[in-house]
Amino acid sequence: MLKNFGGSIAFTFVCLVLAAAYGWFQTGSVAATLAMLWIVVMLSVLEISLSFDNAVVNASVLSDMDEVWQQRFLTWGMVIAVFGMRIIFPLAIVAIAAGIGPIEAVRISLTEPARYEEIVSGAHIGIAGFGGAFLAMVGLSFFFDGEKEVHWIQWLERRLALMSEIKAAEIAILLLVIYGISLLLPPEDALTFLGASALGIVTFIAVEAIGTLLEMRDAAQKAAGQVVHAGLAGFLYLNVLDASFSFDGVIGAFALSNNMVVIALGLSIGAMFVRSLTILLVRQGTLAEYRYLEHGAFWAIIALAGIMLGSAYAEIPETITGLIGAALIGLSMWWSVRHKRKFPDGEIEDALRAE
């Protein structure tokens, strides 16, 4: 356990020390500093609760990557996740939305937290459209797969697998949902929402295309007898996926604080633990042991995508988002345990016939 979470624990300690120093420097009060530390802890818990399904999906991709790329995801990917999505991304939103330079955006985030929160929150429509569309494509693509043999929610997942024979059926369904939501929005917001959603779908297709090209290159190298360290395609995919998952956490963090430093420290702790949890799931083979856990995670992704898209019209509490994801994953894990007890090791064929 320490091997998998030692780095996360050390990182947490450093972040808490930085938060304490920052709180004392800003307030000069022990009580105020402790209150700031408590918010940092709550933000980290929020990030972990919202991203457990992210860890499961990450593990399903990492299991096909060699150990070198797994380690790169935990190190380089961590830099992208922390500095890219928890710090640079909100500042970029402020700079673009307010039409200002990056230095001014940093100044606003540090000296005018209320205005900083207002600008980031004002960009919620576009963020919800892009993140929701991308995550919806991730979730739907898992179930719209004619080669998928294991099904958890039998009556529904089997039909979705059959519908995969229809070209781009999942895109058509998602576009109808996006259009329906856009009809509920004011014209200006609807245009922003539609554009951002379309960009989210295109981004997913682009990432898939890059992955396919890299796989073709790897196949050609293998055919030529060269040693291939598979992982670049998965590495790119995982970081885009992590970025989409972090959208709701960044926006939801403002319910606890509008201080950029506090938000960055809290969410970064959570992101580090999610990555350690991902590696733990891979190394212990948890996905293979719990038959339907991956299904529960992808249903949680679809639920999160629906909530993100729906939040463009109505505010949805982060508590609901976290509870739905946790409930789906917990139920799929319980169902997996139930299945394993019914069909012990060595009776896989019987299990498949039973399904």
Residue 283, classified by CB atoms within 10 Å of its CB into exposed (0-12), middle (13-18) or buried (19+), is middle
Phi-psi domain of 315 (left: phi exceeds 0; alpha: psi -120 through 50; beta: other): beta
Q: Do residues 258 and 12 touch, judged by C-beta distance below 8 A? A: no
User: In the predicted model, what is the mean pLDDT of residues 83-101?
Assistant: 76
Please give the residue range of the domain that contains residue 336: 2-354
Average pLDDT, the chain: 80
Band of the pLDDT at 230, cuts 50, 70, 90?
low
CA 316 to chain centre: 18
CA 119 to chain centre: 23
How many CA within 13 A on the CB side of residue 166?
A: 10
The DSSP code for 227 is: -
DSSP alpha helix (H) spans, the chain: 2-27, 30-62, 67-79, 89-98, 102-111, 113-122, 124-143, 154-163, 169-182, 187-223, 232-252, 260-283, 286-289, 293-310, 318-342, 348-354
**68-74: long-range contacts at Cβ-Cβ below 8 A with a sequence spacing of 24 or more?**
68/229, 68/231, 69/229, 69/230, 69/231, 69/232, 69/234, 69/235, 70/231, 70/279, 70/282, 72/231, 72/235, 73/235, 73/238, 73/275, 73/278, 74/7, 74/275, 74/276, 74/278, 74/279
The type of residue at 247 is F
The model's pLDDT over 253-285, given as tens digits with 9 standing for 90+, comes to: 776 777 888 888 888 888 888 878 887 887 777
Least confident of 21-35, 45-59, 121-135: 45-59
Those residues with Cβ within 8 angstroms of residue 104's Cβ, 6 or more apart along the chain or in another chain = 95, 98
pLDDT number for residue 95? 82
User: In the predicted model, what is the mean pLDDT of residues 24-32?
Assistant: 87
The DSSP code for 253 is: G
Residue bearing the bigger pLDDT, 251 or 350 = 251
DSSP alpha helix (H) spans, 144-186: 154-163, 169-182
Cα separation of 30 and 16, whole Å?
Answer: 14
Q: Do residues 189 and 125 touch, judged by C-beta distance below 8 A? A: yes
The type of residue at 154 is Q
Asked if residue 81 has pLDDT above 60, the reply is yes
Least confident of 115-129, 162-176, 311-325: 311-325
Q: Rg of the chain over CA atoms, in angstroms?
A: 21
User: In the predicted model, what is the mean pLDDT of residues 30-38?
Assistant: 89
Q: What is the pTM of this model?
A: 0.77
Total domains in the fold of the chain: 1
pLDDT number for residue 352? 47
Cα separation of 112 and 285, whole Å?
Answer: 47
216: its two tokens: 């073709």
Band of the pLDDT at 228, cuts 50, 70, 90?
very low
